[in-house]
């Protein structure tokens, strides 16, 4: 398939391209959230004591970045429905 034909397909369906971009943003965000939750569960398991487990630091940066990427992907997906 030539590059001209591929560009024509992308130009004909811009909503699909925007949804693809949203999907590519969503995957790393979900992985960040999953890794933060696994780290928190592992730290709670190693702590053992409930009072100590409540005081464990949570990687808030991972949560913020993960939720921000999911929100951005949601906005992109909504934007693609208007096109």
The residue that leads in pLDDT, 45 or 38, is 38
Average pLDDT, the chain: 83
Q: Could you tell me the pTM of the whole model?
A: 0.73
Residue 18 pLDDT more than 80?
A: yes
Count the neighbouring beta carbons within 10 Å of the beta carbon of residue 4: 7
Give the CA count within 13 Å in the CB-facing half-sphere of 43.
15
The residue that leads in pLDDT, 71 or 15, is 71
Task: Look at residue 8 in the predicted model and tell me its pLDDT.
Answer: 79
CA 58 to chain centre: 18
- Residue 66 to residues 16, 23, 31, 71, Cα–Cα distance (Å): 23, 13, 8, 9
42-76: per-residue pLDDT in tens?
A: 877 877 766 555 655 667 788 889 999 999 999 99
Domain layout of the chain by residue ranges: 14-82
**Count of residues for the chain?**
83
């Amino acid at each position: 398939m030539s590059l001209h034909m591929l560009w024509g397909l992308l130009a004909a369906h811009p909503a699909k391209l925007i949804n693809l971009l949203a999907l590519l943003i969503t995957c790393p965000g979900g992985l960040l959230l999953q890794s933060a939750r696994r780290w928190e569960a592992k730290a709670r398991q190693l702590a053992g004591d409930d009072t100590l487990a409540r005081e464990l630091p949570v990687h808030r940066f991972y949560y913020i970045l993960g939720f921000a990427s999911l929100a951005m992907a949601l906005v992109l997906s909504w934007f693609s429905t208007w096109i």
